């Protein structure tokens, strides 16, 4: 039987799991922390399988966080920065730290966003975001076609991105490895991970099938929040 204390405890745990980690503040004085997934490993089934989510979050993302903290050990000022600033400004670091911070800082930032960019019931773009998508790509299907083309043409590991555009409201870009558009001064709204670790267990070499399925779990409310914030 559940006591009142048990109920309080589970309510608190639920709230903590739902709370989106802010990328605009530092994780803490000791460095960067692996954020909790905002849903269960199996929440995105059948589009993204539970085993992939578990390995992707608990092993791949954790490794980026651990290696970032290792690279910046002894640089308390950098460990205390918001991750989005670290990735934006990594070229100001000593040369020997730039590559590990570019790769692992980018990995931490990209995945922290990526988990929140997905949800069980993704919904559809609404309001100002829907208007911006139509203005830039004609229709939502027009956006999906262009975004998928970027994701499929990224040779090897990397990401496809929806960013705030220059001229048009929105634009699509792609990056290799864990490079982030924020380093180029762009505002990120949505990204899809096309490293094989993101899909190989379920989709093997069929990246197109993965990207097509992934559209079903895009968290458009979160994308709207990023769009409104910029």
Binding site for Mn ion (CB under 5 A): 193, 195
CB of 208 to Mn ion, least distance (A): 18
- 2: number of Cβ within 10 Å: 8
- Please identify, using beta-carbon distances, which residue of 195 and 214 lies nearer to Mn ion: 195
Angle 71-76-77 (CA atoms, 0-180°, nearest 5)?
A: 105
The rounded distance, in Å, linking the Cα atoms of 116 and 149 is 23
CB of 209 to Mn ion, least distance (A): 18
CB of 196 to Mn ion, least distance (A): 9
- Please identify, using beta-carbon distances, which residue of 78 and 195 lies nearer to Mn ion: 195
CB of 56 to Mn ion, least distance (A): 6
Q: Contact, 113 vs 214, CB < 8 A?
A: no
The rounded distance, in Å, linking the Cα atoms of 65 and 25 is 16
Give the tokens for residue 72.
């910046």
- Please identify, using beta-carbon distances, which residue of 143 and 195 lies nearer to Mn ion: 195
- Please identify, using beta-carbon distances, which residue of 106 and 122 lies nearer to Mn ion: 106
CB of 65 to Mn ion, least distance (A): 13
CB of 111 to Mn ion, least distance (A): 6
Closest listed residue to residue 106, CA positions, set 130, 95, 90: 90
């Amino acid at each position: 039987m559940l006591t009142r204390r048990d109920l309080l405890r589970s309510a608190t745990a639920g709230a903590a799991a739902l709370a989106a980690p802010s990328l605009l503040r530092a994780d803490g004085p000791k460095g960067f922390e692996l954020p909790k997934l905002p849903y269960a490993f199996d929440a995105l089934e059948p589009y993204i399988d539970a085993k992939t989510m578990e390995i992707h979050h608990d092993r791949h993302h954790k490794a980026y966080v651990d290696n970032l903290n290792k690279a910046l050990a002894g640089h308390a000022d950098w460990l205390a920065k918001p991750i989005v600033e670290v990735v934006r400004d990594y070229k100001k670091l000593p040369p020997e730290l730039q590559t590990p911070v570019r790769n692992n800082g980018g990995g931490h930032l990209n995945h922290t966003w990526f988990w929140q960019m997905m949800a069980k019931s993704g919904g559809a773009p609404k309001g100002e975001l829907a208007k911006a998508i139509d203005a830039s790509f004609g229709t939502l299907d027009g956006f999906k076609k262009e975004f998928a083309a970027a994701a499929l043409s990224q040779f090897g590991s990397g990401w496809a991105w929806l960013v705030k555009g220059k001229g048009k409201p929105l634009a699509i870009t792609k990056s290799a490895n864990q490079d982030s558009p924020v380093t180029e001064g762009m505002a990120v709204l949505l990204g899809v991970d096309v490293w094989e670790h993101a899909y190989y267990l379920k989709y093997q070499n069929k990246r197109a099938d993965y990207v097509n399925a992934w559209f079903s779990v895009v968290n458009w409310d979160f994308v709207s929040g990023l769009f409104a914030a910029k």
